[in-house]
């Protein structure tokens, strides 16, 4: 089975985990970019980004240059915004940009992600098979530990999908 890491990251935490998974499994990564990315900083980023989640906005994405048909398994990564996946991931999943993949979901957060897995499972299951999820807290503040945990999880997943 061929696997790929697909992720959105605004401030680098999710990207750090994506790269750790890519490194240990030797698989490619694709970072998705909304056409208009969040530009606010400080507190206003929470208002702007959180507002997008609450309003159910699906931002337009830059073209993704990969042929998803070549892959069976996707490690899908998102930061948690307002308790759930970030809006670019909503676009990706609700518009069925890829379908019929086994999806391992990973997310990064700062401690407020109680219902994150349930919500992700529901949207991933629209077009794909949700397999399992793993959350990573305060990633860039604990880089060695985060890398280790991510690579351990990815290796366990890889054992299942051989």
Ligand X SMILES: Cc1cc2nc3c(=O)[nH]c(=O)nc-3n(C[C@H](O)[C@H](O)[C@H](O)COP(=O)(O)O)c2cc1C
Q: Which residues bind ligand X (CB under 6 A)?
A: 9-15, 45-46, 49-50, 79-83, 108-113, 139
**Nearer residue to ligand X within complex by CB, 72 or 117:** 117
Q: How far is the CB of 151 from ligand X (least distance, A)?
A: 18
Give me 48's structure tokens.
């702007």
Q: How far is the CB of 55 from ligand X (least distance, A)?
A: 13
Which residues, at least 6 apart from 5, have a Cβ–Cβ distance to it below 8 Å? 18, 21, 22, 27, 28, 29, 30, 74, 75, 76, 77
**Nearer residue to ligand X within complex by CB, 29 or 127:** 29
Q: What 3-state DSSP class applies to 57?
A: coil
**Nearer residue to ligand X within complex by CB, 96 or 112:** 112
User: Which residue of the chain is nearest ligand X when measured via CB?
Assistant: 49
Q: Which of 105, 92, 159 is nearest to 132 (CA)?
A: 105
**Residue 93 CB-density burial (10 A; 0-12 exposed, 13-18 middle, 19+ buried):** buried
Q: How far is the CB of 119 from ligand X (least distance, A)?
A: 11
Which residues, at least 6 apart from 131, have a Cβ–Cβ distance to it below 8 Å? 102, 103, 104, 157, 160
Q: How far is the CB of 83 from ligand X (least distance, A)?
A: 5
**Nearer residue to ligand X within complex by CB, 12 or 96:** 12
């Amino acid at each position: 089975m061929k696997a790929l890491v697909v992720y959105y990251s605004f401030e680098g935490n999710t990207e750090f985990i994506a790269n750790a998974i890519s490194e240990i499994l030797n698989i490619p990564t694709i970072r998705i970019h909304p056409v208009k990315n969040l530009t606010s900083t400080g507190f206003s980023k929470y208002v702007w980004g959180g507002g997008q989640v609450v309003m159910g906005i699906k931002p337009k994405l830059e073209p993704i240059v990969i042929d998803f048909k070549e892959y069976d398994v996707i490690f899908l990564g998102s930061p948690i915004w307002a308790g759930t996946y970030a809006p670019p991931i909503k676009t990706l999943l609700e518009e069925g940009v890829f379908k019929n993949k086994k999806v391992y979901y990973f997310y990064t957060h700062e401690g407020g992600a109680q219902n994150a897995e349930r919500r992700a499972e529901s949207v991933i299951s629209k077009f794909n098979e949700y397999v399992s999820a793993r959350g990573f807290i305060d990633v860039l503040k604990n880089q060695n530990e985060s890398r280790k945990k991510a690579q351990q999880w990815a290796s366990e997943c890889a054992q299942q999908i051989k």
